[in-house]
Chains A and B, each alone.
Chain A
Amino acid sequence: MPIWHKVATLEEIPALGSRVVVTGQGNIALFRTADGAVFALHDKCPHKGGPLSQGIVHGSKVTCPLHGWSIQLEDGQAVAPDKGCARVVPCKVENGEVLLEVV
């Protein structure tokens, strides 16, 4: 059964920045955009597994630090012409708290 877990407050993630959540199923990257939206992806670039959490966040995308692929935060899809997908983790912000849906 998937359940929602509180993992951070919104303030704990810098704007245009990210944090890593360590879980039993590997690391999850939390991203916060300039307008305060929060997204979560498995912390693995579809290209060569680079840690997306360490990339530069711009608009609603993150650029992987290893080889510069850009990944869309909403759906985890690589920006064309690159092809690939990082797995999305359901995520929401309630009363300034960030919640993740993890099995």
Chain B
Amino acid sequence: MKKMKLVMVGNGMAGVRTLEELLKLVPEMYDITVFGAEPYPNYNRIMLSPVLAGEQQIQDIILNDLDWYAQHNITLHLNKKVVRINRPRKIVYAEDGTMAEYDRLLLATGSSPFILPVPGKELEGVIGYRDIHDTNAMIDAAGKYKHAVIIGGGLLGLEAANGLALRGMDVTVVHLMPWLMERQLDQDSARMLQASLENKGLKFLLERQTQELVGNEQGRVSAIRFKDGNEIPADLVVMAVGIRPNTALAESAGIHCNRGIVVNDTMQTYDPSIYAVGECVSHRGTAYGLVAPLFDMGKVCANHLARMGIARYQGSVTSTKLKVTGIDLFSAGDFTGNEKTEDIVLHDAAGGVYKKLVLQDDKLVGAVMYGDTKDGSWYFQMIRDGKNVAEIRDHLLFGQSHLGNTGHQGQSSAATMPDEMEVCGCNGVCKGTIVKAIKEQGLFTLDEVRKHTKASASCGSCTGLCEQILASTLGGAYAPQTSTAKPMCGCTELTHEEVRKAIREEKLLSIPQAMQFLNWTTPNGCASCRPALNYYLICAWPHEVKDDPQSRFINERAHANIQKDGTFSVVPRMYGGITSPDQLRRIADVADKYHIPTVKVTGGQRIDLFGVKKEDLPKVWADLAMPSGFAYGKSLRTVKTCVGSEWCRFGVQNSTQMGIDIELAFDRMWTPHKLKIAVSGCPRNCAEASIKDVGVIGVDSGWEIYVGGNGGIKTEVAQFLVKVKTHDEVLEYTGAFTQLYREEARYLDRTVHYIERVGLDHVKRHVVQDAANRKDLYARLLYALEGARDPWAKENINPREFAALTI
């Protein structure tokens, strides 16, 4: 079949990102031709400010070099401006007569700086701030002249001012409005920003309207005159008063434009063969000037160009960060508020901290922060998710406490960190390494930072810090990850919830069947989706789905924990942490017989045998003659107990027996992530039940049940779920909560993450308030566990898994 022809007009970030997304989906569908008016391949426009500030070079900010176009067989016309579209014949023409036919046309013509229509605007030394050409003009001027005037105190204007000041110019920012960045900041935060920029040597003239630019005999600008008659010297004037979508080409071709090329939710213009993305479009009446929404558009547009036809662009909530070194500033959403909104404000002028949150109907709709912006992405996420914040309103302003996060010296503010300080304690990655990778590799998302630097790719405790570093390096281009609608992995566009729903509703019973029905893009998934699918299938259809060992991580395939040298560790079950002389003798004998180098008592009160060779595992299990402790699985790990009322002089409940009974009842249970339980016999809580997924604490009149605790990377105290009277109720509530978690959590989410996502109220409704539902949940769990087999028992072992081949 003959390939279709795709022509793209404009060679900027939005357009090229669309091509990248398209090539990912259908690498062979189109012959692609690209016209760019600039002489450069696609570069990172956001990084022009660091180039101006002298922190980076032009060649550092190229995103797609010429090789990239060649590798993908893209015909690239640089320095050629397209001037005419013949829609009936589907041909575009460039200024120099170059022409190209298209089946689909993608307009990514971007925008231009708005030039104030004042006398003198055509003088030499009067420029906008948009591209490499303008940046070079500014760098050049900084070397020759003294006085720079920036007209416009918005994001771009302030970054230009900062850059020119760093290059030694005397810089004045002229602004029409009463305060700086009025579209991103309220008056209080803008005043603080202005004060710190003044400390850096910038000068400001607010509420000044430009009347005229005055030239000298050489035709170069020499001064700027205001409506009030005052005049200041100016050898360079940078207009940063806004951008105008470049629509002239589209308009000349008769495509409907209204302050931008008008597109629908699929990024299609009024001509069905012509799509448009980027700063040139007007979507639902809005034109976007920040990169994050443009990338969202690119993804949607690529999906439709690939004829998949499922994605919709529904507009973006944007957030802003200023890329001026040493200044922390964040704003998002509607932060000005109206008569229906309420404000929560913290204003510490001397300490240089300002935070304002705007709420409407118990939802966060906007946020402005100055000085302390570490919770910016947390707020932004809540704004995008429309999350109800009534529950946490009283401490919302103080942010998502990162206290208790381990592995990076308790640091929580990226701006104050020196470059050589370690951010990721797992992989040994410093701040400087991350910043360098973001700038040099052109990274935009947390995922990309993880892939390239490994920072936050292991335990994830430094995710917040990495996000801040990304945000402060990228400024307005930063797009926080959406936790709500994230696809399961690179093999699908579907979310965990969509996949689970399909498995339930379509009764999908195997991984190949699920992948086929859900249009997986890879032949047999990847190491992250296969274990998830295997779990989802088994959870939805117990006793009907056949477990797939090849889709399980090695620990669950070998029923032991792999160690760094490839040997395994073995933890036998000791229900409730109770053992016997007979068991201990056998463990000792096994350790001797198999030369086990290390025997350790675990944090969960069990005994761990380290350094066992894989081929010895079945023999070790047989000699131990104890059940598998499941210490290796996404499964019920241990039920930790204190001695309780049987021995302890303070104990009020028999916690040991309760623990044994829970561990017996829920033994061999698979869960989305590991599940730890503890039972304490009195509120002194010696079993540390308050940092377990389920914590049961005996009180004189019964038992309190807590859920969602975690003692790991980030210490999380379990939340109170319910108080019950009897032993059987403890089992029923614990089982019902666990089953709800099993059915609703995303694979690899611990209970704390699950509860954070759905809210404790949701859990209480299903487990505490609705008795019938609780009994159903509990019954489903018991059904799933019926006849569960011990993987260490001889008859359940697959010998092939453990036997090596020889030559």
Name A residues whose Cβ lies closer than 8 Å to a Cβ of B.
5, 7-8, 12, 14-17, 19-23, 27, 30, 34, 48, 50-51, 54-59, 63, 65-68, 70, 81, 100, 102
| Chain A contacts for B458, CB-based, 8 A | 67
User: Which of A14, A27, A51, A65 has a CB less than 8 Å from the CB of B800?
Assistant: A14
User: Which of A12, A48, A51, A59 has a CB less than 8 Å from the CB of B805?
Assistant: A12
| Chain B contacts for A23, CB-based, 8 A | 806-807
CB distance from B530 to the nearest CB of A (A): 6
User: Which of B522, B553, B558, B566 has a CB less than 8 Å from the CB of A50?
Assistant: B566
Contact, CB under 8 Å: A70 / B550: no
Roughly how many angstroms separate A99 CA and B551 CA in the complex, as a whole number?
A: 26
Q: Which of A56, A63, A100 has the most CB of B within 10 A?
A: A56
A-B pairs with beta carbons under 8 Å apart, 18 shown: A7-B805, A12-B805, A15-B550, A17-B549, A20-B804, A21-B804, A21-B805, A21-B806, A21-B807, A22-B806, A23-B806, A27-B804, A48-B564, A51-B562, A55-B554, A56-B527, A68-B527, A81-B451
Contact, CB under 8 Å: B807 / A100: yes
Contact, CB under 8 Å: A22 / B804: yes
Roughly how many angstroms separate A81 CA and B806 CA in the complex, as a whole number?
A: 35
Roughly how many angstroms separate A20 CA and B555 CA in the complex, as a whole number?
A: 16
Roughly how many angstroms separate A65 CA and B564 CA in the complex, as a whole number?
A: 10
| Chain A contacts for B807, CB-based, 8 A | 5, 7, 21-23, 100, 102
Contact, CB under 8 Å: A58 / B805: no
**Does B523 make an interface contact (CB < 8 A)?**
yes
CB-CB nearest in chain B for A66: B564
CB-CB nearest in chain B for A44: B566
B753-807 CB contacts (< 8 Å) to partner A? 800, 804-807
- Using an 8 Å CB-CB cutoff, how does the interface string of B509-545 with A read, 1 for contact, 0 for none? 0000000000000111111001100000000000000
Contact, CB under 8 Å: B527 / A81: no
Name B residues whose Cβ lies closer than 8 Å to a Cβ of A.
451-452, 458, 522-527, 530-531, 549-555, 558, 562, 564, 566, 800, 804-807
Roughly how many angstroms separate A89 CA and B97 CA in the complex, as a whole number?
A: 56
Contact, CB under 8 Å: B804 / A12: no
CB-CB nearest in chain B for A82: B451
> With A48-B564, A65-B562, A81-B452 known to touch, is A59 a contact of B554 (CB < 8 Å)?
no
| Chain B contacts for A102, CB-based, 8 A | 807
Contact, CB under 8 Å: A56 / B530: yes
Roughly how many angstroms separate A7 CA and B550 CA in the complex, as a whole number?
A: 21
User: Which of A12, A22, A56, A59 has a CB less than 8 Å from the CB of B550?
Assistant: A56
> With A21-B805, A30-B805 known to touch, is A16 a contact of B550 (CB < 8 Å)?
yes
User: Which of A7, A58, A68 has a CB less than 8 Å from the CB of B522?
Assistant: A58
CB-CB nearest in chain B for A67: B458
Contact, CB under 8 Å: B525 / A54: no
Q: Which of B550, B551, B558, B804 has the most CB of A within 10 A?
A: B550
> With A56-B527, A68-B527 known to touch, is A14 a contact of B550 (CB < 8 Å)?
yes
CB-CB nearest in chain A for B512: A34
Roughly how many angstroms separate A21 CA and B531 CA in the complex, as a whole number?
A: 26
Contact, CB under 8 Å: B524 / A16: yes
> With A7-B807, A21-B804, A54-B562 known to touch, is A59 a contact of B527 (CB < 8 Å)?
no
> With A17-B550, A81-B451 known to touch, is A58 a contact of B566 (CB < 8 Å)?
no
Roughly how many angstroms separate A38 CA and B212 CA in the complex, as a whole number?
A: 76
User: Which of A21, A34, A54 has a CB less than 8 Å from the CB of B566?
Assistant: A54
> With A48-B564, A102-B807 known to touch, is A54 a contact of B452 (CB < 8 Å)?
no
Roughly how many angstroms separate A9 CA and B702 CA in the complex, as a whole number?
A: 61
User: Which of B531, B558, B805 has a CB less than 8 Å from the CB of A56?
Assistant: B531
CB-CB nearest in chain A for B551: A56
Q: Which of B523, B549, B566, B804 has the most CB of A within 10 A?
A: B566
| Chain A contacts for B554, CB-based, 8 A | 54-56, 65
Contact, CB under 8 Å: A34 / B524: yes
CB distance from A5 to the nearest CB of B (A): 5
Q: Which of A8, A15, A59 has the most CB of B within 10 A?
A: A59
| Chain A contacts for B523, CB-based, 8 A | 34, 59
Roughly how many angstroms separate A57 CA and B554 CA in the complex, as a whole number?
A: 11
